Structure 1
């Protein structure tokens, strides 16, 4: 059983490679393919990141855009649950914990998905992912997971470490203004940021080498990747932007409810503007009352 999104297309060898993977590994219950969407980010995430996760049986999500299941496994699940807005992650947890099944990754089964149209869609998409992840974790914390499993369960570790690091990234973005107030020089601060950037670039280059190797069976993809390799110099800034959106998503998930579609940045900006105006009116009213 295979599901794919309606806004993309499969590589001509994708289904054949999925079947081969299942045939060669009868113990596998579900597979997720390689999604190429926001191209460089997804290349790093899938071809580098998920291969590492797969080697240690740590795949967090069966991608809703392209995944495959054994029929006998699928019919034992609750299918795509509406309890959360991250139904693909929920399905992953069902197979991993409820059925004690095995989840794997097929790196040579590629699905080309339509890229997002702009920042507003990116903002909505990443907030939806963040909310869905928290909803799934919260659902299973009441069933099979516990915070005490930090050292024994990779998903608990990922939740705590990943979200902690996300907030630290945002704090460090604004730390320069605070540290200047404490007397640190521009030179020392810029030097520290340059060192951080070079370390991050080293990680990106290492990941890019992995991606290049995994694209060996796809010469056209490898050619396109090399042609646009300069993008790795900008990925740090893109990832910082996504981290900021995720932080907003964590706050919104903790304080509001929403539908799968969520609200875009313009609508959220309008809500923030209304709240600020309301607070200002209340402050002015209180000031006039005190006077």
Structure 2
């Protein structure tokens, strides 16, 4: 197991390098001068030249790249052009809000999705099965911004039951609408995939053998079928964890949630290149770590999988 983990970590190094290089190249080909943005509309050529020198923008591109890589190795993501704040500190400050939102959205989507998928598979072709899958298809098809705006229109501005935006005092009332908005699509995907996997497993010979031995239906489903059907579900849940933790851009923007997703949007609008680079690299690292955890968890759900 240790060898497998170390091998996977080594495999991620060229991936991280590729992501970092791609981000650096894309940021440098985007139109716009960061020095001009920092100086504003009023300024003179001398001030502009000084700002470019202080930022290292007057260096050749390959030297800028070497400086960028050396800073990353030291754990320095740079300093924001807009707020003069360390990018790593800004991400750290916003991570708590994003993690809280992502955790509850994942719990909501996983619990409802797995539960609905199991019941749909057990009660195949029933009214519940058809109803649950219709709702799941709608959940997958509905854009996140449409779901968020619809919930705002009904529950915040129409009925006035819940606050429409912001973090407030951190109470659960501010969390409900963003969590539902963010959890709808993961829950719908999980429900459809769980149903499909459960139906495939329930038709296996060892399930029929377990039923023939007189085991209770819930024991057959939960102990024998579910565990073997969970590998594809774990894969999709793992990718959802990465997506949610890396910043729910649309949800956080709609509800003015002070997370990493909104931070990246603000940086993009302001052409704050260090902040854009930092958030993108952070998202890539989250995806890599989540995929590693998912791969390791396969051995728990299916003993036939070995890491030798």
Interval of TM-score (by shorter of Structure 1 and Structure 2): under 0.3
> Which of the pair is proportionally richer in helix?
2
Q: Which has the higher strand share?
A: 1
